[in-house]
A and B are shown apart, each in its own frame.
Chain A
Amino acid sequence: MKRLVVNPDACTGCESCMLECSFQHEGAFGLDHARIQVERREVSATFRPRVCIQCEERHCIAACPVGALSIHPDTGAIRVDGDLCTGCGLCERACPHGGIHFVQGVKSPFVCDLCGGEPKCIAMCRKAQAISFAVIGGGDER
């Protein structure tokens, strides 16, 4: 199964991926509403994308006290059940990758859904390739 792969050294901090992500999911451009977040340090020109990388451990699922998080069987992305979620924030705290976050005024967390299997952010990063979509960890599609 393909996953998002992040290469922070290649990130230029342009935030195109964030704007595209927000637009694809919300129909509007905003920074908070992007499932992918970029930490920017302008003085040293160092930038780090933070996004769910569909890790093996799935710390967020383990941390959820109400079972609101699960793995999408087709894509491997995290699925949020908005009815079950209480907005407690434990998933955000548990994730070591900064891959899941809350937005003020919205109960459920924001996490990458791989756009249903074809992540749109990739097209924004074709030159730098700081984010790519690939099979890793013993796969044969690379």
Chain B
Amino acid sequence: MSASHTAYSQYVLDIDLSSGVIKREEVAPRDIERFLGGRGVAAAILARSMREGVAPLDPEATFIFSMGTLTGTNAPMTGRSGITFISPVTGLYCKANVGGHFGLYCKLSGIDYIVIRGAAEHPTYLWIGDDDAQLRDARSLWGKGVRDTTAELEERHGHNINVACIGPAGENRVAFASVMSSIYNAAARGGGGAVLGSKNLKAIAVGRPHQTCSPVSAEAFGEAAADMREALYADTMSDSYYTYGTAASVDTMNETDTLPSRNFQRGRIERIEQLTSKYWNDHGLLKGRIGCASCIYSCHRFVRIDDGPYAGACSAGPEYETVSALGSGPAIESIGALQCANERCNDLGLDTISAGGVIQWAMETYEKGLLPAELVGDMDLRFGSEQAVTELPGMIARREGLGDLLAEGTRRAAERIGGDSWKWAVQTRGLEQSRVETRGALGYALAFAMNPRGPDHLHTECIAEFGMTPEMRGLIAEITGDEAYARSDTTEKRAEIVRYHEDIYAVSDALGVCAFASTAAYGANPERCARLFSAFTGISLDADEIMDAGRRMITLERLINLRLGWVNDPNQYAPWRLMNEPLKTPTGDVPRLDEERMGGMVREFYELHGWDLESGVPPQGVVEALALEEFA
């Protein structure tokens, strides 16, 4: 048998698209010790590659695929991979993380990172076969959707390959173009697809891998993996994630006015029934469940519409975020229209969260009379318009008419339309807020304010603050000393709660552990992550040390953003609407995120980190303590 790793090492496949030169290099062991792998090492590679004056879509910009350190193993829910780049929409550091099987295939091909530099002269794809990586002509793939691109690559290379690719949205540099892998899995946020489009890189196709990887301590690894598996099976939420997926609690959220609707003007819609995963299960729309590599929950689901105007519409999902972004957000109540919109976004390579965000912004702008008639044409742009949610994704991806305006995201679209339209562009730093009603969830509000890529949940999923399960309440007690802090409507202890979740999330992303295993269910705690990492790599870390590495990653990401011009701007702690308008509900108003409460939480957060209380800059002492001098 070919054993890829005897003593532990990681490898970079370094691709210069401009020259066509491909190199394979070993990662410095010190980088693995400090940053664990995956997102952490990718951030270090990005930081070292950054040059003054290079814009995110310039050929000189660097784009990195990274596989988790444990990806490719039987440790539960470790199939994740990631992308790291400077976002063309925020101009800041961005990472996005994705499931599917792409990471597994790369890992068992002996590849831990793929670093993309330069730009190809014409559309190109990267083929990775046995001990072989080649750049190939992708002109016949250009313009094709994700399904057709994957199908054509399977025709060429066989049905047992795995593909990551962009759709037409990425080719046309849409600000929220995603990178899709395993057809339906999206590394969605921040416009990574646009960066690959600017480089003329349509796809990476990986042949079925024939290599193996081995833990340095096989017995200890097997025990640690089994221990984590049992903890995840035992989690209170595990049945729900399998049975109902991520959209399990949509109806409850609607009842409690926490389901963002009508561009964050409301927290509920009239008829929620069809947007719930229970409905899809009970009415035969759920055709199957899809497991990412080594997942034991399989929350990802495949839904097909069998009759009515949207018969045949099918895709994986819709996930919770999509249900809210393209369902409750634009006041769509039909699963048919929602799944049609979801299918189109996935195939075009669009982030559904931002696609839903720009569509809702367009609806509100239209209803307020600010959208020019020539842009509207004969489209029905009122809230509730199924025509808008199903037709606009294609227009955005192809940059047709109104779609061209929306393709730039809500911040730039509002700048062009003018008036007060910026006030209902629900974004900060250019990124549309993900679908959390943060006016009633103050931990999330702080997390969104501090997230280096903008206001979303995938750096710091702190759902534990709602205290819905014994595991969530137990974790809050562990972090704060008192289970009573498992309530989302107080600013107290939010800084501590956010800090824990930031660190464990970074560890998860570095190891390739699904954040669902560490921040939604809780089997992947610091101790178990440390045991797995130590047994696999032979680099011995305990729970505290692995969380310190998480903190090192968070700090490195802040240092990268400071180089890119990030400033601690209280106006950017939350979208204008959420900082200035209360949420109206039938039982009363939920107060706005005022400057005093937000500023107070941010200062506590900075104090915990030892960062400057006003500027948010990590001082020299903190940088040295984390061994980050190279990046300061």
Q: Which residues of A contact B (CB under 8 A)?
A: 9, 12-16, 19-20, 22-23, 26-33, 40-47, 104-106, 123-128
| Interface residues as binary, B188-230 with A (CB distance below 8 Å gives 1, 0 otherwise) | 0000000000000000000011111110001000100010010
- Could you say which of A15, A22, A28, A123 has the most chain B C-beta atoms within 10 Å of its C-beta? A28
Asked if B73 and A14 make an inter-chain contact with CB atoms under 8 angstroms apart, the answer reads no
Question: Which of B295-303, B370-378, B540-548 is the contact stretch?
Answer: B295-303
- Contact for A16 among B1, B74, B151, B209, CB less than 8 A: B74
13 A-B residue pairs with CB within 8 Å: A12-B291, A15-B101, A15-B291, A16-B294, A29-B74, A31-B208, A42-B101, A45-B288, A106-B1, A123-B226, A127-B238, A127-B298, A128-B242
CB-nearest residue of chain A to B74: A19
Q: How large is the interface on B (under 10, 10 to 19, 20 to 34, 35 or more residues)?
A: 35 or more
Asked if A28 and B213 make an inter-chain contact with CB atoms under 8 angstroms apart, the answer reads yes
* Contacts A26-B1, A33-B1, A127-B297 given; does A45 touch B211 at CB 8 Å: no
CB-nearest residue of chain B to A38: B291
Within the complex, the shortest CB–CB distance from B242 to chain A, in Å, comes to 4
- Contact for B212 among A20, A29, A45, A124, CB less than 8 A: A29
- Contact for A128 among B218, B222, B298, CB less than 8 A: B298
B290 CB-CB contact with A under 8 Å: yes
| 8 further interface pairs, Cβ-Cβ under 8 Å (given A16-B74, A19-B73, A45-B289) | A12-B298, A27-B214, A28-B214, A29-B212, A30-B210, A42-B183, A125-B296, A127-B238
Asked if B293 and A14 make an inter-chain contact with CB atoms under 8 angstroms apart, the answer reads yes
Asked if A16 and B147 make an inter-chain contact with CB atoms under 8 angstroms apart, the answer reads no
Which residues on A sit within 8 Å (CB–CB) of B233? 126-127
* Contacts A45-B316, A126-B233 given; does A104 touch B212 at CB 8 Å: no
- Contact for B229 among A9, A105, A123, CB less than 8 A: A123
Asked if A128 and B294 make an inter-chain contact with CB atoms under 8 angstroms apart, the answer reads no
B597 CB-CB contact with A under 8 Å: no
- Report the Cα distance A14→B293, complex, angstroms: 5
Which residues on A sit within 8 Å (CB–CB) of B182? 42
- Give how many A-B residue pairs fall within 8 Å (CB-CB): 119
Asked if A43 and B209 make an inter-chain contact with CB atoms under 8 angstroms apart, the answer reads no
CB-nearest residue of chain B to A124: B296
- Report the Cα distance A62→B389, complex, angstroms: 60
* Contacts A29-B73, A43-B151, A45-B290 given; does A16 touch B101 at CB 8 Å: no
B21 CB-CB contact with A under 8 Å: no
Q: Which residues of B contact A (CB under 8 A)?
A: 1-3, 72-74, 76, 79, 100-101, 104, 108, 147, 150-151, 159-160, 182-184, 208-214, 218, 222, 226, 229, 233, 238-239, 242, 287-298, 302, 316
- Report the Cα distance A23→B294, complex, angstroms: 13
Within the complex, the shortest CB–CB distance from B576 to chain A, in Å, comes to 40
* Contacts A16-B76, A124-B74 given; does A43 touch B150 at CB 8 Å: yes
- Report the Cα distance A104→B214, complex, angstroms: 19
Within the complex, the shortest CB–CB distance from B169 to chain A, in Å, comes to 19
Which residues on A sit within 8 Å (CB–CB) of B316? 45
Asked if B1 and A12 make an inter-chain contact with CB atoms under 8 angstroms apart, the answer reads no
- Report the Cα distance A123→B222, complex, angstroms: 13
Asked if A16 and B291 make an inter-chain contact with CB atoms under 8 angstroms apart, the answer reads yes
- Report the Cα distance A20→B316, complex, angstroms: 26
- Contact for A13 among B108, B212, B242, B290, CB less than 8 A: B290
CB-nearest residue of chain A to B73: A29
Which residues on A sit within 8 Å (CB–CB) of B238? 127
Which residues on B sit within 8 Å (CB–CB) of A45? 184, 287-290, 302, 316
Asked if A126 and B296 make an inter-chain contact with CB atoms under 8 angstroms apart, the answer reads yes
Which residues on B sit within 8 Å (CB–CB) of A105? 1-2
Within the complex, the shortest CB–CB distance from B182 to chain A, in Å, comes to 5
- Report the Cα distance A19→B75, complex, angstroms: 9
